[in-house]
Structure 1
Amino acid sequence: MSNFLMRTLSGLVFVVVVIGSIWLNSYTFLGVFALITALAVREFHLLTNTQNEVNVSMLFSIFGAILLFVISFVHASNIIRFPIFSVYGLYIVLVMISELYQRKSNPIHNWAYFILGQAFIALPFSMLNFIAFNDSAVYEPFLLIAVFITIWVNDTGAYLVGITIGKHRLFKRISPKKSWEGFVGGALAALASGYVFSMFITEISLLQWLLFSEIVVIFGTFGDLSESLLKRTLSVKDSGNAIPGHGGLLDRFDSMLLAAPVIFIYLSFLA
């Protein structure tokens, strides 16, 4: 099978899994994205644990990520009113205390990468729950689907314009292939998607949808650059090989990592 065909097929499967799990119901979203969160955190620590004096517990990190995602789901859906995030906070404290007994030469590295994995990977994935559930704790998948579609439209527009007329580097030190022309092309494509979304969800005005799209573009680009910085720091090309032809999960979800928290804040102001 050619690389192009493999890339196309795996890309289609990826889109179907992401959109399908969100669209079907809240529990398929919970199951699939809790698994994706766990695998993404695992992928992150497979990279970071290659560094000298870094040996973050994969079990502790994955459990923490799943715990945060499930707690966020339970809170966003209003299943439990108990201040449940205190459970996650206690877990983080216990993990950090446990590191004191590991007798490592430089345990601060493990602390730092453990917290980074939770903050940079697990937290943004968990924030997706608060986009999917509205203020009345009703599951409404369209906004979450809109986030991912906007990311993909932006990526496609940026790529096509970038390879065609891209000359001025956007952030050469971190990602030499990205151009300002590609960034503008992606932003314009995202505006078009925002216009289309405004025809389906009229509770949000056209202007608000356009702002939604550009927030995703701006912070999605920063998320992409942040993941590129991580890979450059660790001297790797891809974060993994979970998706044939596309690299790892972090390579596919990098734009979401910084876009999701900001979109949640934006939607909170609109509510």
Structure 2
Amino acid sequence: MLKQRIITALCLIPLVLAGIFWAPTVYFAWGLVPIFAIAAKEWGRLIDKECNVTQWSFTLTVTSLLIIINVMFPADELWFKGQIHPMFLAIISIGVMWWLISTLLVMSFPKSAKVWNTSPMLKSMFGQLTLIPCFVSLIALKSLSSSVDPYFGGALVFIVMLVVWAADTGAYFAGRSLGKHKLMPSVSPAKTLEGLAGGLLTTMLIVAGVMYVSPEQELGLLIVVTLITALASAFGDLSESMFKRVAEIKDSGKILPGHGGILDRIDSLTAAFPVFTLIYIAMWM
């Protein structure tokens, strides 16, 4: 399993980096559509793992919305005089509100499941709120690239990914070596408070790296934003775990050997990107 995970990661990393840094923003936006379409198909299994009609209906709905977004709001026209298009800001804001609600659902699980467990409509809505704001946030950050600094937007996307990867890696090793107190045993029995703390501490390496490259940044603000983003990523992971546990599904899919499905790989990112993007817009734009 570990060998498969490493091989898959080594194959994917160059593609991810190429898309983030070198793909034109419009191509990047369109390239995300099939990735999120696969994630939508996987979320369809969380709605009803036995009904293909439900799964494909949800996939078609999400994919159609993503295509409409790309057609109506071209990625290279989202920013004007430092302001993002109001529709994108609204979607990102709604996404952050959803993650606040999702956090409450996770913290009150399994009682909260009584509200949505038997409702395909609610689970479908939750899936759209999970995927679409993340899609929009990725495009919003990437499109900050300019002729003056063509890699700026890509760098922001990459930093968020680094924060999430650092938090996941730190949590994994700290949890294995020090973990004693369960974080959310009813949602994900393997996760511990020590793992969460280790993950948050590991993200400080990203803060150190950013300060080294860009020392003019305000250290305290950077630490706070990094920790909030990392915490959001942790609850993004827990949220998917909650829905998978109710659906009695171990992995969302099998498309990535050793890793499961697309949704399994981006669950933390689906929360981290909207949260970081909204903070960035509020603080730095």
Which residue does the alignment assign to 1:93?
none
Query: Secondary structure of 2:191's match?
Result: strand
Which residue does the alignment assign to 1:134?
144
Alpha-carbon distance in 2 for matches of 1:135, 1:5: 36
The within-5 A match list for 1:43-192 is 43-50=42-49, 55=54, 57=57, 58-68=59-69, 71=73, 73=75, 75-77=77-79, 109=119, 111-134=121-144, 140-192=153-205
- Per the TM alignment, residue 132 of structure 1 is displaced from its structure 2 partner at its CA by 2.4
Change (3 A) 1:49 1:199: same
Which residue does the alignment assign to 1:10?
8
Q: What is the root-mean-square deviation in Å for CA atoms of aligned residues? A: 2.9
Q: Is the 8 A contact 1:37 1:121 kept in 2?
A: yes
User: Is residue 267 of structure 2 the alignment partner of residue 254 of structure 1?
Assistant: yes
Alpha-carbon distance in 2 for matches of 1:109, 1:182: 33
Q: Is the 8 A contact 2:47 2:124 kept in 1?
A: no
Bigger mean CA offset, 26-35 vs 159-168: 26-35
| Cα distance per residue 1:78-111 (max 9 Å; x no partner) | 6xx99877xx9xxxxxxxxxxxxxxxxxxx9554
| Cα distance per residue 1:142-191 (max 9 Å; x no partner) | 11100001111111111011101100011111011001111111111101
Alpha-carbon distance in 2 for matches of 1:135, 1:17: 19
- Per the TM alignment, residue 67 of structure 1 is displaced from its structure 2 partner at its CA by 2.8
User: Structure 2 length as normaliser, TM-score?
Assistant: 0.76
Query: Secondary structure of 1:43's match?
Result: helix
Change (3 A) 1:174 1:72: farther
Bigger mean CA offset, 233-242 vs 111-120: 111-120
Amino acid at match of 1:248: G
User: Structure 1 length as normaliser, TM-score?
Assistant: 0.80
- Per the TM alignment, residue 118 of structure 1 is displaced from its structure 2 partner at its CA by 1.7
The structure having more radius of gyration, on CA atoms, is 1
Alpha-carbon distance in 2 for matches of 1:181, 1:141: 32
Change (3 A) 1:242 1:67: farther
Q: Is the 8 A contact 1:72 1:127 kept in 2?
A: no
Q: Is the 8 A contact 2:143 2:153 kept in 1?
A: yes
Q: Is the 8 A contact 1:168 1:179 kept in 2?
A: yes
Q: Is the 8 A contact 1:132 1:144 kept in 2?
A: yes
Q: Which stretches in structure 2 are left out of the alignment for 5+ residues?
A: 92-117
Alpha-carbon distance in 1 for matches of 2:266, 2:70: 16
Q: Is the 8 A contact 2:78 2:85 kept in 1?
A: no
Alpha-carbon distance in 1 for matches of 2:168, 2:86: 38
Q: Which stretches in structure 1 are left out of the alignment for 5+ residues?
A: 89-107
Higher relative contact order (CA 8 A, sep 6+): 2
Which residue does the alignment assign to 2:114?
none
Alpha-carbon distance in 2 for matches of 1:74, 1:152: 28
Q: Is the 8 A contact 2:251 2:264 kept in 1?
A: yes
Query: Secondary structure of 1:177's match?
Result: strand
Change (3 A) 1:180 1:216: same
Q: Is the 8 A contact 2:26 2:74 kept in 1?
A: no
Amino acid at match of 1:4: L
